[in-house]
Amino acid sequence: MALNIDCILILAKMFDKNTFDDKLFDRFLNTKATKVFLQHENSIGKNVNKDEIKAALKKIVKNTGYKDKYKFYLIKSNLNQLKTDIQYLQDHGKMIIKLALKKVYKIIPDEMRVNANIYLYSGGTDGGFTISRRDIFINYGNYIGKRKEFINILSHELYHSRNIPLTNRIRFAWKLVKERNRVIYELFGKSIEEGIACLVQHGPILESDDLTGNLTKRNLLLSKIQFDILNNVLLNIKFGMVQKYKIEDLNIYVIGYIIVSTIYSKEGVLALDEWTINLEFTRIITKYIEICNKRNIPSGFEDEVIKWVFLA
Ligand SMILES: [Zn+2]
Protein backbone atom coordinates (compact mmCIF):
# COMPACT_ATOMS: atom_id res chain seq x y z
CA MET A 1 0.00 0.00 0.00
CA ALA A 2 1.16 3.53 -0.75
CA LEU A 3 -0.21 7.05 -0.67
CA ASN A 4 -1.04 8.51 -4.08
CA ILE A 5 -0.67 12.30 -3.81
CA ASP A 6 -0.70 13.29 -7.54
CA CYS A 7 -3.85 15.37 -7.18
CA ILE A 8 -2.74 17.58 -4.29
CA LEU A 9 0.76 17.85 -5.74
CA ILE A 10 -0.68 19.38 -8.94
CA LEU A 11 -2.95 21.72 -6.96
CA ALA A 12 0.02 22.92 -4.92
CA LYS A 13 1.88 23.68 -8.17
CA MET A 14 -1.16 25.42 -9.64
CA PHE A 15 -1.63 27.73 -6.64
CA ASP A 16 2.07 28.47 -6.52
CA LYS A 17 1.68 30.52 -9.72
CA ASN A 18 0.04 33.90 -10.25
CA THR A 19 -1.49 32.96 -13.57
CA PHE A 20 -3.80 30.08 -14.33
CA ASP A 21 -2.01 27.16 -15.98
CA ASP A 22 -4.33 25.28 -18.35
CA LYS A 23 -1.93 22.37 -18.72
CA LEU A 24 -1.80 21.83 -14.97
CA PHE A 25 -5.59 22.00 -14.88
CA ASP A 26 -5.83 19.23 -17.50
CA ARG A 27 -3.39 17.13 -15.50
CA PHE A 28 -5.46 17.79 -12.38
CA LEU A 29 -8.64 16.60 -14.15
CA ASN A 30 -6.85 13.48 -15.32
CA THR A 31 -5.78 12.28 -11.90
CA LYS A 32 -7.72 9.28 -10.68
CA ALA A 33 -8.47 11.13 -7.43
CA THR A 34 -10.21 14.01 -9.23
CA LYS A 35 -12.08 11.75 -11.64
CA VAL A 36 -13.49 9.66 -8.82
CA PHE A 37 -14.24 12.73 -6.69
CA LEU A 38 -16.39 14.13 -9.54
CA GLN A 39 -18.20 10.80 -9.95
CA HIS A 40 -18.72 10.57 -6.20
CA GLU A 41 -20.17 14.09 -5.90
CA ASN A 42 -22.54 13.45 -8.80
CA SER A 43 -23.59 10.10 -7.32
CA ILE A 44 -24.66 11.81 -4.09
CA GLY A 45 -26.70 14.36 -6.00
CA LYS A 46 -24.35 17.34 -5.92
CA ASN A 47 -24.01 18.18 -9.56
CA VAL A 48 -20.43 19.18 -10.14
CA ASN A 49 -19.03 19.98 -13.53
CA LYS A 50 -15.55 20.62 -14.84
CA ASP A 51 -16.27 24.14 -16.12
CA GLU A 52 -17.51 25.24 -12.72
CA ILE A 53 -14.41 23.84 -11.05
CA LYS A 54 -12.17 25.49 -13.62
CA ALA A 55 -13.85 28.86 -13.01
CA ALA A 56 -13.45 28.46 -9.25
CA LEU A 57 -9.78 27.49 -9.51
CA LYS A 58 -9.11 30.45 -11.85
CA LYS A 59 -10.62 32.87 -9.34
CA ILE A 60 -8.58 31.40 -6.50
CA VAL A 61 -5.34 31.64 -8.49
CA LYS A 62 -6.05 35.29 -9.31
CA ASN A 63 -7.19 36.72 -6.02
CA THR A 64 -6.55 35.43 -2.56
CA GLY A 65 -9.58 35.65 -0.32
CA TYR A 66 -12.11 34.11 -2.71
CA LYS A 67 -13.91 31.21 -1.01
CA ASP A 68 -15.29 28.64 -3.44
CA LYS A 69 -17.94 26.11 -2.47
CA TYR A 70 -15.61 23.18 -3.20
CA LYS A 71 -13.20 24.50 -0.61
CA PHE A 72 -10.20 24.52 -2.95
CA TYR A 73 -9.36 27.84 -1.32
CA LEU A 74 -8.20 25.82 1.71
CA ILE A 75 -5.30 24.58 -0.40
CA LYS A 76 -4.29 28.07 -1.43
CA SER A 77 -4.64 29.65 2.00
CA ASN A 78 -2.55 26.87 3.57
CA LEU A 79 -0.10 26.51 0.72
CA ASN A 80 3.11 26.70 2.71
CA GLN A 81 1.89 24.13 5.23
CA LEU A 82 0.71 21.94 2.34
CA LYS A 83 4.18 22.00 0.77
CA THR A 84 5.67 20.88 4.10
CA ASP A 85 2.99 18.17 4.32
CA ILE A 86 3.70 16.92 0.79
CA GLN A 87 7.37 16.48 1.64
CA TYR A 88 6.37 14.67 4.84
CA LEU A 89 3.89 12.42 3.02
CA GLN A 90 6.52 11.55 0.41
CA ASP A 91 9.16 10.74 3.03
CA HIS A 92 6.98 8.98 5.58
CA GLY A 93 4.08 7.47 3.61
CA LYS A 94 4.92 3.92 4.67
CA MET A 95 5.11 4.87 8.35
CA ILE A 96 1.78 6.77 8.17
CA ILE A 97 0.04 3.71 6.71
CA LYS A 98 1.66 1.50 9.35
CA LEU A 99 0.37 3.71 12.17
CA ALA A 100 -3.15 3.74 10.67
CA LEU A 101 -3.10 -0.07 10.29
CA LYS A 102 -2.03 -0.45 13.90
CA LYS A 103 -5.27 1.29 14.91
CA VAL A 104 -7.30 -0.96 12.59
CA TYR A 105 -5.77 -4.17 14.02
CA LYS A 106 -6.76 -3.14 17.54
CA ILE A 107 -10.31 -3.82 16.38
CA ILE A 108 -10.13 -6.44 13.62
CA PRO A 109 -8.64 -9.95 13.99
CA ASP A 110 -4.95 -10.39 13.07
CA GLU A 111 -5.66 -12.85 10.29
CA MET A 112 -7.97 -10.50 8.42
CA ARG A 113 -6.35 -8.79 5.47
CA VAL A 114 -6.59 -5.10 4.64
CA ASN A 115 -5.46 -3.97 1.24
CA ALA A 116 -6.31 -0.73 -0.46
CA ASN A 117 -5.16 1.94 -2.89
CA ILE A 118 -5.07 5.28 -1.12
CA TYR A 119 -5.63 8.52 -3.03
CA LEU A 120 -5.55 12.03 -1.62
CA TYR A 121 -7.85 14.53 -3.31
CA SER A 122 -9.31 17.91 -2.54
CA GLY A 123 -12.83 19.28 -2.91
CA GLY A 124 -16.25 18.97 -1.30
CA THR A 125 -17.21 18.45 2.32
CA ASP A 126 -16.60 14.73 2.90
CA GLY A 127 -13.69 13.62 5.05
CA GLY A 128 -13.15 10.70 2.76
CA PHE A 129 -14.84 7.70 1.21
CA THR A 130 -14.07 4.14 0.14
CA ILE A 131 -15.18 2.52 -3.09
CA SER A 132 -15.68 -1.23 -3.52
CA ARG A 133 -13.71 -1.86 -0.31
CA ARG A 134 -10.53 -1.30 -2.29
CA ASP A 135 -9.98 2.35 -3.28
CA ILE A 136 -9.75 4.89 -0.48
CA PHE A 137 -10.12 8.62 -1.16
CA ILE A 138 -9.25 11.21 1.47
CA ASN A 139 -10.14 14.87 1.18
CA TYR A 140 -6.76 16.29 2.14
CA GLY A 141 -7.97 19.91 2.19
CA ASN A 142 -9.49 19.08 5.61
CA TYR A 143 -6.27 17.63 7.00
CA ILE A 144 -3.54 20.11 6.05
CA GLY A 145 -1.16 20.37 9.02
CA LYS A 146 -3.24 17.85 10.99
CA ARG A 147 -1.08 14.74 11.07
CA LYS A 148 -2.87 12.93 13.87
CA GLU A 149 -6.33 13.52 12.38
CA PHE A 150 -5.06 12.37 9.00
CA ILE A 151 -3.85 9.04 10.41
CA ASN A 152 -7.19 8.72 12.21
CA ILE A 153 -9.34 9.23 9.08
CA LEU A 154 -7.04 6.89 7.17
CA SER A 155 -7.62 4.18 9.80
CA HIS A 156 -11.40 4.76 9.49
CA GLU A 157 -11.33 4.20 5.73
CA LEU A 158 -8.94 1.24 6.04
CA TYR A 159 -11.50 -0.47 8.28
CA HIS A 160 -14.04 -0.19 5.43
CA SER A 161 -11.56 -1.85 3.08
CA ARG A 162 -11.00 -4.99 5.21
CA ASN A 163 -11.25 -8.23 3.32
CA ILE A 164 -14.57 -9.86 4.30
CA PRO A 165 -14.94 -13.53 3.29
CA LEU A 166 -16.93 -13.76 0.06
CA THR A 167 -19.48 -16.24 1.43
CA ASN A 168 -20.32 -13.80 4.22
CA ARG A 169 -20.82 -10.97 1.74
CA ILE A 170 -23.08 -13.14 -0.38
CA ARG A 171 -25.13 -14.21 2.64
CA PHE A 172 -25.58 -10.53 3.58
CA ALA A 173 -26.58 -9.51 0.04
CA TRP A 174 -29.07 -12.39 -0.02
CA LYS A 175 -30.85 -11.01 3.04
CA LEU A 176 -31.36 -7.68 1.28
CA VAL A 177 -33.63 -9.26 -1.30
CA LYS A 178 -36.71 -8.98 0.91
CA GLU A 179 -38.04 -5.40 1.03
CA ARG A 180 -38.66 -5.41 4.80
CA ASN A 181 -35.20 -6.77 5.43
CA ARG A 182 -33.54 -4.38 3.04
CA VAL A 183 -34.36 -1.22 4.93
CA ILE A 184 -33.72 -2.80 8.32
CA TYR A 185 -30.45 -4.34 7.20
CA GLU A 186 -29.29 -1.15 5.56
CA LEU A 187 -30.11 0.92 8.65
CA PHE A 188 -28.47 -1.39 11.16
CA GLY A 189 -25.72 -2.54 8.83
CA LYS A 190 -24.61 0.98 7.92
CA SER A 191 -24.86 2.14 11.53
CA ILE A 192 -22.69 -0.68 12.84
CA GLU A 193 -20.22 -0.42 9.94
CA GLU A 194 -19.75 3.33 10.51
CA GLY A 195 -19.85 2.89 14.30
CA ILE A 196 -16.91 0.46 14.24
CA ALA A 197 -15.02 2.61 11.70
CA CYS A 198 -15.47 5.57 14.08
CA LEU A 199 -14.30 3.41 17.00
CA VAL A 200 -11.15 2.61 15.01
CA GLN A 201 -10.73 6.30 14.22
CA HIS A 202 -11.46 7.88 17.60
CA GLY A 203 -11.20 5.10 20.19
CA PRO A 204 -14.01 4.37 22.69
CA ILE A 205 -14.08 7.91 24.09
CA LEU A 206 -14.53 10.80 21.68
CA GLU A 207 -11.84 13.28 22.65
CA SER A 208 -12.19 15.71 19.78
CA ASP A 209 -14.99 16.29 17.31
CA ASP A 210 -14.79 14.70 13.89
CA LEU A 211 -13.71 17.31 11.32
CA THR A 212 -16.67 16.44 9.08
CA GLY A 213 -19.13 17.27 11.88
CA ASN A 214 -20.84 13.85 11.81
CA LEU A 215 -19.51 12.62 15.11
CA THR A 216 -19.26 15.40 17.67
CA LYS A 217 -19.59 15.62 21.45
CA ARG A 218 -22.73 17.68 20.99
CA ASN A 219 -24.27 15.10 18.64
CA LEU A 220 -23.51 12.36 21.18
CA LEU A 221 -25.19 14.35 23.96
CA LEU A 222 -28.25 14.75 21.76
CA SER A 223 -28.30 11.10 20.69
CA LYS A 224 -31.83 10.56 22.03
CA ILE A 225 -33.10 12.56 19.05
CA GLN A 226 -31.36 10.13 16.71
CA PHE A 227 -32.75 7.05 18.46
CA ASP A 228 -36.24 8.62 18.32
CA ILE A 229 -35.90 9.06 14.57
CA LEU A 230 -34.66 5.48 14.21
CA ASN A 231 -37.61 4.15 16.26
CA ASN A 232 -40.01 6.14 14.11
CA VAL A 233 -38.46 4.95 10.90
CA LEU A 234 -38.69 1.33 12.00
CA LEU A 235 -42.29 1.67 13.25
CA ASN A 236 -43.25 3.29 9.96
CA ILE A 237 -41.82 0.30 8.12
CA LYS A 238 -43.73 -2.02 10.45
CA PHE A 239 -46.98 -0.30 9.57
CA GLY A 240 -46.15 -0.31 5.89
CA MET A 241 -45.51 3.41 5.51
CA VAL A 242 -42.34 2.92 3.56
CA GLN A 243 -42.47 6.36 1.94
CA LYS A 244 -42.83 8.30 5.16
CA TYR A 245 -39.70 7.47 7.10
CA LYS A 246 -36.87 9.92 6.96
CA ILE A 247 -33.62 8.03 6.72
CA GLU A 248 -31.78 11.15 5.50
CA ASP A 249 -32.36 12.82 8.86
CA LEU A 250 -30.70 9.99 10.69
CA ASN A 251 -27.12 10.36 11.89
CA ILE A 252 -25.98 6.74 11.64
CA TYR A 253 -22.49 7.69 12.89
CA VAL A 254 -23.88 8.72 16.27
CA ILE A 255 -26.16 5.68 16.62
CA GLY A 256 -23.47 3.25 15.52
CA TYR A 257 -20.75 4.79 17.67
CA ILE A 258 -22.90 4.68 20.82
CA ILE A 259 -23.83 1.02 20.32
CA VAL A 260 -20.32 -0.06 19.37
CA SER A 261 -18.39 1.92 21.98
CA THR A 262 -20.74 0.74 24.75
CA ILE A 263 -20.04 -2.90 23.84
CA TYR A 264 -16.32 -2.31 23.38
CA SER A 265 -15.95 -0.58 26.75
CA LYS A 266 -17.82 -3.31 28.66
CA GLU A 267 -16.93 -6.50 26.81
CA GLY A 268 -13.96 -5.77 24.60
CA VAL A 269 -13.53 -6.28 20.93
CA LEU A 270 -14.57 -9.91 20.30
CA ALA A 271 -18.31 -9.22 20.17
CA LEU A 272 -17.71 -6.79 17.31
CA ASP A 273 -16.19 -9.53 15.12
CA GLU A 274 -19.78 -10.61 14.48
CA TRP A 275 -20.03 -7.62 12.16
CA THR A 276 -16.39 -7.18 11.14
CA ILE A 277 -16.14 -10.76 9.82
CA ASN A 278 -19.69 -12.10 9.43
CA LEU A 279 -21.72 -8.93 8.70
CA GLU A 280 -24.19 -10.05 11.37
CA PHE A 281 -25.58 -7.35 13.63
CA THR A 282 -28.39 -9.05 15.57
CA ARG A 283 -26.24 -10.25 18.46
CA ILE A 284 -24.46 -6.89 18.60
CA ILE A 285 -27.74 -5.02 19.04
CA THR A 286 -29.10 -7.50 21.59
CA LYS A 287 -25.83 -7.41 23.51
CA TYR A 288 -25.97 -3.60 23.55
CA ILE A 289 -29.51 -3.64 24.97
CA GLU A 290 -28.49 -6.28 27.55
CA ILE A 291 -25.60 -4.10 28.75
CA CYS A 292 -27.89 -1.04 28.97
CA ASN A 293 -30.52 -2.99 30.93
CA LYS A 294 -27.91 -4.34 33.36
CA ARG A 295 -26.61 -0.84 34.01
CA ASN A 296 -30.08 0.65 34.19
CA ILE A 297 -29.49 3.13 31.41
CA PRO A 298 -31.89 3.62 28.49
CA SER A 299 -30.79 1.90 25.27
CA GLY A 300 -32.72 4.38 23.15
CA PHE A 301 -34.71 1.61 21.45
CA GLU A 302 -38.44 1.24 22.04
CA ASP A 303 -39.51 -2.23 23.21
CA GLU A 304 -42.05 -2.50 20.40
CA VAL A 305 -39.32 -1.89 17.83
CA ILE A 306 -36.98 -4.45 19.33
CA LYS A 307 -39.67 -7.11 19.51
CA TRP A 308 -40.62 -6.56 15.90
CA VAL A 309 -37.14 -6.38 14.43
CA PHE A 310 -35.33 -9.03 16.46
CA LEU A 311 -37.94 -11.39 17.87
CA ALA A 312 -40.38 -11.65 14.98
ZN1 LIG B 1 -17.06 5.56 7.06
Distance of CA 181 to the CA centre of its chain: 24
- What integer best gives the mean pLDDT of the chain? 91
Residue 61: CB atoms within 10 A of its CB come to 21
Question: What DSSP designation does 141 have?
Answer: G
The residues whose Cβ lies within 5 A of ligand 1, an ion, are 194, 197
Ligand 1 mean position to 41 CA, how many Å?
A: 16
268 burial (CB, 10 Å; 0-12 / 13-18 / 19+) is exposed
Ligand 1 mean position to 130 CA, how many Å?
A: 8
Ligand 1 mean position to 197 CA, how many Å?
A: 6
Q: What is the pLDDT of residue 169?
A: 92
**Closest C-alpha among 136, 164, 148 to residue 274:** 164
Is the pLDDT score of 306 beyond 70? yes
Distance of CA 287 to the CA centre of its chain: 25
Q: Which one has a higher pLDDT value, 127 or 284? A: 284
Q: Using CA atoms, how far apart are residues 102 and 24, in angstroms rounded to an integer?
A: 36
Ligand 1 mean position to 192 CA, how many Å?
A: 10
Q: Using CA atoms, how far apart are residues 291 and 56, in angstroms rounded to an integer?
A: 51
For residues 19 and 61, the answer to whether their CB atoms sit within 8 Å is: yes
Kindly tell me the sign of the dihedral angle through the C-alpha atoms of 273, 279, 280, 286. Answer: positive
Q: Using CA atoms, how far apart are residues 170 and 153, in angstroms rounded to an integer?
A: 28
Q: Which one has a higher pLDDT value, 296 or 309? A: 296
Q: Over the stretch 81-132, which tens digit does the pLDDT of each residue have?
A: 999 999 999 999 999 999 999 999 999 999 999 999 999 999 887 888 888 8
Q: Which one has a higher pLDDT value, 272 or 240? A: 272
Phi/psi of residue 250, each to 5°?
Answer: -85, 130
Confidence of residue 265 (pLDDT cuts 50, 70, 90): very high
Ligand 1 mean position to 194 CA, how many Å?
A: 5
Q: Which one has a higher pLDDT value, 14 or 126? A: 14
Q: What is the pLDDT of residue 109?
A: 97
The percentage of residues in the chain with a pLDDT greater than 70, rounded to a whole number, is 97
Question: What DSSP designation does 4 have?
Answer: E
Q: What is the pLDDT of residue 287?
A: 95
Q: Over the stretch 215-258, which tens digit does the pLDDT of each residue have?
A: 999 999 999 999 999 998 888 888 877 655 567 788 999 999 99
Q: Using CA atoms, how far apart are residues 258 and 261, in angstroms rounded to an integer?
A: 5
CA angle 248, 252, 253 (to 5 degrees): 130
Q: Which one has a higher pLDDT value, 32 or 306? A: 32
Average pLDDT over residues 141-169: 94
Contact residues for 161 (Cβ-Cβ < 8 A; gap 6+): 114, 115, 116, 130, 133, 134, 136
Q: What is the pLDDT of residue 243?
A: 58
Confidence of residue 40 (pLDDT cuts 50, 70, 90): confident
Domain spans, the chain: 3-160, 166-311
Q: Using CA atoms, how far apart are residues 61 and 14, in angstroms rounded to an integer?
A: 8
Ligand 1 mean position to 157 CA, how many Å?
A: 6
157 burial (CB, 10 Å; 0-12 / 13-18 / 19+) is buried
Is the pLDDT score of 180 beyond 80? no
Average pLDDT over residues 18-25: 94
Ligand 1 mean position to 160 CA, how many Å?
A: 7
166 burial (CB, 10 Å; 0-12 / 13-18 / 19+) is exposed
Q: Using CA atoms, how far apart are residues 273 and 198, in angstroms rounded to an integer?
A: 15
Ligand 1 mean position to 193 CA, how many Å?
A: 7
Ligand 1 mean position to 215 CA, how many Å?
A: 11
Q: What is the pLDDT of residue 10?
A: 96
Q: What is the pLDDT of residue 244?
A: 57
Q: Using CA atoms, how far apart are residues 254 and 260, in angstroms rounded to an integer?
A: 10
CA angle 144, 13, 134 (to 5 degrees): 55
